[in-house]
Amino acid sequence: MATLTDISQKIARRSGPNRQPTAGARKGRLVRIDSEGRLFVDFQGNPSGPVAARLAVSETELADLLEGAEILLIFEDDDLARPIIIGTLRDRLPSNGIQISIRGRRVIVEANEEIELLCGEAKLRITRDGKVVVLGNDVLSRARCRNRIRGGTVNIN
């Protein structure tokens, strides 16, 4: 059976300086991303300065997590020392399209039917059947060593 001292110690642990009620989600700011990819956030009412946060966002939202981004946070067990990023905040969609910034050694973009990149009059299209089409007013191919063209049939002009 728990003694009165045991119960008061449990209550003290649950109501320490970082265990204030969070009243739901809070706005915050992504302060920095360290070299290991950990995210540090700050928010109003934070008693200890930037805190390492966990992520609960989709892979497509990862591109929006840049230093200085306004984010939405919840807190594990209402503990202000344990924030979880659940999204980024915006007033509207960007008018000039969506910017993607991905850090990493390898980036994979996958689609079931087709991937198409457009910029002005230039186009790169990759289709499900393995076809790669490069269209542009001027297409330049450079290589420091060999520049090879291989195929079952190679048509030039």
Please say if the pLDDT value at position 101 is more than 50.
yes
**Terminal alpha carbon distance of the chain:** 90
Asked if residue 84 lies in contact with residue 76, where contact means CB atoms within 8 angstroms, the answer is: yes
* Angstrom distance (rounded) from CA 116 to CA 132: 10
Top pLDDT among 123 and 100 is at: 123
Where along the chain do its domains lie?
A: 15-88
Contacts of 33 by beta carbon, 8 Å cutoff, 6+ apart: 39, 40, 65, 67
* 14-18, 105-109, 111-115, 134-138: the lowest-pLDDT one: 14-18
- Which CATH architecture describes the domain 15-88? Beta Barrel (2.40)
Please say if the pLDDT value at position 97 is more than 90.
no
CA dihedral of residues 102, 54, 61, 68 (deg, nearest 10): -70
CA angle 29, 31, 37 (to 5 degrees): 115
